[in-house]
Amino acid sequence: MGTVLVNGVEVEVADDERLNGIQAAARAGVDIPRYCWHPGLSVVASCRMCLVETGTRNAETGAISMMPKLVPACQTPAKAGTVFVTESDAVKKARAMVEEDLLIDHPIDCPICDKAGECYLQDYHFEHGQKERRADIRPFTSRRRDLGPTVTLFVDRCVMCSRCVRFGREVAGTSELLVINRGSDEEIDVLPGFPLENKLSGNVVDLCPVGALGDKDFLYQQRVWFMKRHRQVCTHCATGCSIWTEENQDHVYRVRPRENPHVNQWWMCDIGRYGFHYVHDAARLVGAERRDGNSYKPIEWTEATAELGPKFDEQAKRGRLAAVLSPFLTVEEAFLLARWIRARDVDAMLAVGPVPVEGDDERFKSGFTIRAERCPNRKGIEAIVRHPRGELATWEDVLVEADAGRLAGVWITGGYPKPWVDEAAAGKLADVPLVVVQDLFGSPLWEIATYRLPGTAFAEREGSYVNANHRLQSVDWAVRPPAGARVEGSVYWQLLGMPGLYKSRRVLDDLAATIAYFAPAAEIVPETGVQLDAAAAQVSAAPLLASGS
């Protein structure tokens, strides 16, 4: 342990932490401005914004000797006895000079710049810049250049922090971006024929401290200050990156990574970043329907939830019931549905829905992985399906049982962003007398359903997902589902006759008490999630499901 002095405040730093001045100052509650330094990238100390005064304190005498010149805090290790002064006149003057230098030929087009509102240059100018502009250059527009299919560069807005270049070299490992020219003519560019085209390309837009890199998907869509962000988890692969879902008036405009050292660090892939558009697809199903001969009649949701219980009870007398738990469900929703179907038929079959797999796992230079398994919650659903008997039925098992005529009622949950069920599978289920389907988009299965219940997408759900590394993360809902669709959790909540509104946290408490695998989630689930015990996934020591529901 060692003590670092930041503006006279003592900060404890462990010997093996290897912190720099910016990180040590952050512990003292001091924010040192910076452009080029990012915790996930190497240090270049090129922007000079984080210049501070530094020195050392003699451990024995307590005397402080300062360095005569300012040094970049990002490059200065915080060791025992290091002293940082971040608010002296010399430091303030240096910051104002850097700001003035950056703004000499920076276009003053903040009103039309998409970064305005979350731009470091803006924020630092108000905080540290000079009141007046001495340069008589007044550029109002910026040259624009395409870097690839996802990212566009506003050349003159760039402050040459080189974060995007380092990201390509150190994290993505593809090195498409580079700095061309020298001195004041420096620009970010790509080589001809080698556009910025990797599956992590969207991250450079988040990294850019100014408005130089624009996300083509989000460009001009919405001003950032109109949006509210919600803690969620990406549902596009089994990595389960922590994300912010940003919405305005129930419309999701963009998805950005949320820092989580245990899962995705600061990054996310383009599949997840640009994959959210299905939430607002015009083809989304709305309005509950009941089969009436060969046609369908719209029914009220209250009517549906009221008659589904008796209907399934009736079918339970004739044969076995089954529920297919989609790996897109949250563990809370799956648990509620499992509990409901087992209350109808103690012997009911529980199965994991089809697990979509595309290609192989893709691993990048920094260790960031895009999983081939393109669903967020297989591990969590499997743990619920295994409980309490330890057997794991799959979608194929359900089809075999249905084809053999051994099932009297099936509840199928979908929620897949892509088509997931074919004619053949639907044909095998066609003879089951009672089929309830909850899904996002129409499918052959939708055509044979007895009850059609429109489901919801990730942005509309609350609950928890368990990723490929057995990490459970809880999410809040971001937008309301379209009129006529209902969140799965609230449907099951109502089916079980539980009082009030659906609260996923209450279900998670129940779940943690029932299934040993989920026990670590019993108390509070932090924003970065909790680690579940992989060994507990295989066995389930808890007694049979609670009765009375």
Residues near other proteins, by CB under 8 A: 105, 107, 109, 111-112, 136-144, 156, 219-220, 223, 225-226
What does the alpha-carbon distance between residue 38 and residue 441 come to, in Å, rounded to a whole number?
A: 41
Task: Provide the token pair at 201.
Answer: 């390309």
Instruction: Return the number of the residue (139 or 520) whose C-beta is nearest other proteins.
Output: 139
Q: What is the distance between the alpha carbons of residues 451 and 257, in angstroms, rounded to a whole number?
A: 37
- Minimum distance, C-beta of residue 152 to other proteins, in the bound complex (Å): 10
In whole angstroms, the minimum distance from the beta carbon of 134 to other proteins comes to 15
Written as one string, the DSSP assignment of 12-52 is EE-TT---BHHHHHHHTT-----SS--TTS-----S-TTEE
CA distance 275 to 444: 23
Q: What angle do helix axes 120-128 and 89-103 make, rounded to 10 degrees?
A: 140
In angstroms, what is the minimal distance from the CB of 51 to other proteins?
28
Cβ distance to other proteins smaller for residue 148 or 463: 148
Could you give the dihedral angle defined by the CA atoms of residues 252, 468, 371 and 201, in that order, rounded to the nearest 10 degrees? 50
Residue of 498, 491, 406 whose CA lies nearest to 454: 491
In the complex with other proteins, the residue whose CB is nearer, 101 or 527, is: 101
Task: Compute the distance between CA of residue 530 and CA of residue 428 in angstroms, rounded to an integer.
Answer: 40
To other proteins, the closest distance from the beta carbon of 108 in angstroms equals 9
Report the residue number, 145 or 318, with the smaller CB distance to other proteins: 145
Q: Which is nearer to other proteins, 126 or 225 (CB)?
A: 225
**Residue 7 · residue 86 · CB < 8 Å:** yes
The distance of closest approach from Cβ of residue 431 to other proteins in the complex, given in angstroms and rounded to an integer, is 50
Tokens of 3: 């003590």
Q: What is the closest distance, in whole angstroms, from the C-beta atom of residue 113 to other proteins in the complex?
A: 9
Q: Which residues contact 95 (CB under 8 A, 6 or more apart)?
A: 33, 49, 51, 124, 128, 129
- 139 vs 433, which CB is nearer to other proteins? 139
Query: Which DSSP symbol is given to 113?
Result: -
**CB closer to other proteins, 46 vs 248:** 248
Minimum gap (Å) between residue 222 Cβ and other proteins: 8
Residue (155 or 542) nearer to other proteins, CB: 155
Q: In 353-484, at which residue ranges do the beta strands (DSSP E only) sit?
A: 362-363, 369-370, 393-394, 407-413, 434-439, 451-454, 463-466, 471-475
193: Cβ–Cβ under 8 A, 6 or more apart, which residues? Answer: none
Q: What residue type is 256 in one-letter code?
A: R
The CB-of-226 to other proteins minimum distance in angstroms stands at 8
For residues 126 and 140, which CB has a smaller minimum distance to other proteins in the complex?
Answer: 140
